[in-house]
A and B are shown apart, each in its own frame.
Chain A
Amino acid sequence: MIKFLNITKIYPPDILALKNASLEIKPKEFVLITGKSGAGKTTLLKLILAEEKPNQGEIFFEQQDLSKIRAGDLPHLRRKIGTVFQDYKLLFSKTVYENIAYVMEVMGANENEIKRDVSQILEIVGLENKARSFPAQLSGGERQRTAIARALIHRPDIILADEPTGNLDPYNTSDILRLLLKINGLGTTVILATHDKEIINTLEKRVITLDKGKIVRDEEKGRFIL
């Protein structure tokens, strides 16, 4: 599904984010990306989203070479991906309902589909009573559940989660992880970037460890080792 072939990413002037990184992620996999701050976790996710382009190497997403993707094709690529971030990245001028519906609107879904699916997802993430609230009126956990609902609503092929529990308490963290596992169980590929030891050791999933931009470990049912 996703292939990194000898990817090097250098941010100007000379900050090395990824060096000769090669990996493959298969459909329906749950992959944890870990490493210290600055190890290259977020860059790896940004490259999949085509937010950044590599300096060297090739990235394939479902046979599409992301290193050569045209600007006009970016929206189509990103509609296949659901994203969840540590800082939620919600649209603060829109309500919870509108934030989630926005993705479907972008894709051209009809009003009935939007109403039906948004109501369902709000129920799944337990925010049916917060549909009309603005993000500023929500707690951290509620914001993250809104972000997850938004990432899921259009049934993407893959979910990219960058430190989604970084700002949450243990109760909300376990809720979010349960949701991600459920989504993966339903067939969606999940890539979760985290440096939370507890999460990595509890999940017992594939773990890719980065250090100074290099992939130093890639283990099935890996554990937190730095």
Chain B
Amino acid sequence: MFVLLKRIIKSGWTSFSRDPGLMLGTIFIMLIPIASITLFFLVKDTGQSLISSLEEKADISVYFKSDIQETDIFNIKEQLLKIAEVKEVKYISKDLALNEFIQRHEHDPVLMESLEELETTPFLALLNIKAFEASQYELISGFLEKQEFENLIEKIDFYQRKTVIEKIFLLASTTNKVGIGLSIVLAIVAVLVVFNTIRLAIIHREEEIKVQRLVGASNWFIRGPFLVQGAISGIFASIFCFLIFAALCWFLSPKLAILFSDLNIWNYFSSNCLFIILIQLVTGVGLGIISSAIAIRKHLKI
């Protein structure tokens, strides 16, 4: 059994290697759906990690009017801490805000001089609120917008970040939907192309197949090499795809890091390379075997 399997694989490899033109075409076509599926996983996972990182950084800053007493602010802080969705509330006084600003910009003489010109501190006291999940900020914001706080609160800094978070959510979910759809379409195209390649190989070798039957070859000894050919095309397409993505991630990683400081796509790729090559191999070999099996079933009557 093992010897027979070895011979079927060897025969498939020989046929594959003796018709490089046809097989290169097949590999190229198979590259497209494999790349699309890889891209889908890459965007899904890196997008998710980017969202998590932004969520980690998300908070609400509530700025209080300058004439508000600290006791009123502490009172609101107490009320906020009673909300189950609130993880942490940090009070930053006007003086602390001023000190932090000075520390941050002490080497900027223009800013420092401008600050000295002012008679009073331009900074407002604020509460920095963190929730357990991004979706909970809406609720906290709603709580702070109540009428009883209207005279105390100058502004709530939530909506600016909300837009960014929502945009990334939208991008990730759109990419997921488009990715799945595109992968399915491209996979169907690849199945059709590989099916056609194997079909042509079967038609081209119709006479040989008859001879193989006449010399006593069993069904699987004739059919097996065609399946192997499809699988080998899939393996090569996966390897090429992996190398292309490795190169792309390596080149694009520093450029993407400028846009998204938390995104290191090369790190993600290198730490998940086994998972990625596995997905690519499963896709490539699966596509190759399925297409060959359909072609054999349809055109190789034994």
Q: Using a CB–CB distance below 8 Å, which chain A residues touch chain B?
A: 49, 51, 71, 74-79, 81, 83, 89-94, 98, 102-103, 105-108, 110, 150
Question: Are A75 and B216 closer than 8 Å at their CB atoms?
Answer: yes
Asked whether B175 is an interface residue with its Cβ less than 8 Å from the other chain, the reply is no
Q: What is the interface of chain B, defined by CB distance below 8 A to chain A?
A: 3-4, 7, 14-15, 18, 205, 207-208, 210-218, 221, 302
Greatest chain B CB density within 10 A among A91, A92, A150 is at A91
Q: Of B3, B208, B210, which contacts A108 at CB under 8 A?
A: B3
The residue on B at minimum CB distance from A91 is: B208
Q: Of all chain B residues, which has the CB nearest A111?
A: B3
The residues of A that contact B302 with a CB separation of less than 8 Å are 71
Once the chains bind, are B216 and A79 in contact (CB under 8 Å)? Answer: yes
Indicate which residue in A71, A92, A93, A103 contacts B215 across the interface (CB closer than 8 Å).
Answer: A103
Report if A106-B205 is in contact (Cβ < 8 Å); known contacts: A89-B211, A91-B211, A93-B15.
no
- Distance to closest chain B CB from A40 (angstroms): 19
CB–CB A83/B7 < 8 A: no
Taking CB atoms, residues of chain B closer than 8 Å to A76 are 216
Q: Contact between B205 and A93 (Cβ–Cβ < 8 Å)?
A: yes
Give chain B nearest CB distance to A37 CB in angstroms.
21
A167 to B207 Cα, complex, angstroms: 19
Bound CA span A9–B21, Å: 45
A108 with B4: CB separation less than 8 A:
yes
Pair A106/B214 contact, Cβ less than 8 Å: no
In-complex Cβ contact of B216 among A71, A90, A98, A106 (8 A): A106
> Known contacts A93-B18, A108-B3, A110-B3: does B218 contact A78 (CB below 8 Å)?
no
Q: How far, in angstroms, from A21 to B64 measured CA to CA in the complex?
A: 112
Q: In the complex, which of the residues A49, A71, A94 contacts B214, with contact meaning CB atoms closer than 8 Å?
A: A49
Q: Which of B3, B213, B217 is packed against the most chain A CB atoms within 10 Å? A: B217
